[in-house]
Structure 1
Amino acid sequence: MEAKGKFLHETRIPVRWGDMDFYGHVNNTVYFRYFEQARVEWIEQQGFRVGPDVPTGAVIINADCTFYAPVNYPATVVVRMYGRDPGRSSVMTYYELYVEGEDRLYADGSSKVVWMDTATGKSVPLPDTLRASVS
């Protein structure tokens, strides 16, 4: 996936009954939660804690998702995460969402992750370990 950058992480997430909407498929907002879970797992794998009491951490300044086909319960989604273009304090992340056992792409998206000082709310340099994992 050259256009999406370097492969960073893959996770599997069971679809919960409550993830569905009135139409019987996963609600559009839930896809962002699936992407978030992959991102949090990747950050933790790099040795960083995620939570309200950390001195620095990741925030998202924009996010998008394109939906190609509805996901239905029961299923397990597979989220593949990629990254590229690390800057001083940010990195672009990209996501592909599949249903386990299928080759069909159900959704893809992206988000710009900014590393910030949680006390001041100001951006700070991206940690070297995160930068290295994307480069």
Structure 2
Amino acid sequence: MTEQAPSEARPQRARRADFKHHRVITTRWMDNDVYGHVNNVVYYSFFDTAVNAALIEAGLLDTASSAVFGVVVETGCRYSASISFPESIEAGIRVAHLGNSSVRYEVCLFRIGDEQAVAEGHFVHVYVDRKTRRPAPIPADVRAFLQSLVREPAA
């Protein structure tokens, strides 16, 4: 095994203050795997839940009738520490890129009261027309909400 060069060192974990929108999520018994921590696939569910709940609560997504909605086309996650049941965590949401029909979210999970993320994820929604399932422009009201979550440039 070779030692990492400084340029290859793992980047600093995201901090709670890097996010404008936060949501508490409670782990469930079924989230734990045989190793006693939340299984990696559940993290993606937490990301999806945090973003879609924010859109629903803002009145911007009706899963049964919205004419245009986002579908996930890409996901990723980097894990720094494990979480387990019973535990409440907090998801921080921000927008890293806002295109014509797509948005890249960054969603990080924090233990309640901790400043550094235990998991740093991303996913991309491409907005599609409900009937044709073809890409469609992000609706103006959704775009305004997403714009409010755009990541501030590092100082």
Quickly name the TM-score band, shorter chain normalised: 0.7 to 0.9
TM-score when scaled to structure 2? Answer: 0.77
1:88 aligns with 2:100: yes
**Residue matched to 1:97:** 109
Unaligned runs of 5+ in 2: 1-17, 148-155
Normalising by structure 1, we get a TM-score of 0.87
Q: How many residues align?
A: 130
**For structure 1, which runs of at least 5 residues remain unmatched after alignment?**
1-5
Cα deviation code 1:1-57 (max 9, x no counterpart): xxxxx8452110111111000000000000001111111112113322342443221
Match of 1:65 among 77, 94, 104: 77
Counterpart-to-counterpart distance in 1, 2:116 and 2:105: 21
Q: Does 1:40 align with 2:41?
A: no
Percent identity, aligned pairs only, is 28
- Name the structure with the higher strand share: 1
**Amino acid of the structure 1 residue aligned with 2:123:** S
Equivalence for 2:88: 76
Matching residue of 1:110: 122
**Superposition RMSD in Å:** 1.7
**Partner deviation per Cα, 1:32-87 (whole Å, 9 max, x = no partner):** 01111111112113322342443221111101011111102221010000003211
In structure 1, C-alpha distance between the alignment counterparts of 2:109 and 2:49, rounded to whole Å: 12
